[in-house]
Chains A and B, each alone.
Chain A
């Protein structure tokens, strides 16, 4: 069952589509516990109706991403702040 859990590297392409820049090195601050982690380190569950990203420290939801037919629904309420650069 643990094999279902991946990390932010697995959604590198998806995040690039959404943010248009490389995001796996971006730092996200968890709105629940305040932990700051590079997105490459966060927990990712892909096998769901959408993608659920969770904090590696407290397991609360950082992001939810649903993509269908050219539309995206992105919930970032679990991420207080996202820090990233152009590269």
Chain B
């Protein structure tokens, strides 16, 4: 039993910490560990969303911006998807089930030369994602998790879901997508977090 760790120095006798299942698996990106609960991460107070006033829009580099009310949104074709999700704080949760509307459905008929998007939420949160990364069956606007209406602490009533990127890009309390010709770093991307965020290349921070 060592008293000192080669890099860290002192080692606390008998401390193991939360057991982290880091068994390597084709489904777990580098540096991640699998959890069975669903950790809640929050950058601010949970917005109180009034569904009577809620809208989802697609705006920006688009001839005619699109907007749906909650009723209209719920009338759109929805699908249920099961995905693995990976948080930049190192936890991964496998086989999570969501129900919502594919971004492809929302983008139907939209013509744009924009290559970039900003996904925006209530309370000022934004995240930037290339348009190619939210189309082609890669992203959804979801309102159910695990068969239940999405809980506010997990982004309910509606959040974004783009599971192939780190989960901070799956914006909670989402309200729309802004199509842009240039990339604009979002809330976390402007403060240290990677512009793209591919968990498989461990792109957590600037310069990764």
Contact = CB atoms under 8 A, between A and B. Distances in A.
Q: Per the CB under 8 Å rule, do A and B touch in the complex?
A: yes
A75 interface: yes
Contact of A45 (B44, B187, B192): B44
Given A49-B168, A50-B188, A71-B205, A66 B193 contact: yes
A64 B124 CA distance: 14
Query: Looking at chain B, what size class is its interface with the partner chain?
Result: 20 to 34
B6 interface: no
A47 B191 CA distance: 16
B45 A5 contact: yes
Interface stretch (B35-43, B53-61, B93-101, B137-145): B35-43
A66 B129 CA distance: 20
B204 A68 contact: yes
Contact of B191 (A45, A59, A73): A73
Contacts of B188: 49-50, 66
Contacts of B124: 60-61
Given A49-B88, A61-B124, A68-B205, A73 B192 contact: yes
Which secondary structure dominates chain B's binding surface? loop
A49 B193 contact: yes
Contacts of A54: 44
B69 interface: no
Interface in B178-204: 187-188, 190-193, 204
B192 A50 contact: yes
A54 B124 CA distance: 13
A62 B41 CA distance: 18
Contacts of B192: 50, 66, 68, 71, 73
Interface of B: 39-46, 87-89, 124, 152-153, 168, 187-188, 190-193, 204-206
The 4 closest A-B pairs by CB, nearest first: A73-B192, A66-B192, A52-B43, A48-B43
Interface of A: 1, 4-5, 45, 47-50, 52, 54, 59-61, 64, 66, 68, 71, 73-75
6 contacts: A45-B44, A47-B40, A50-B188, A64-B187, A66-B188, A68-B192
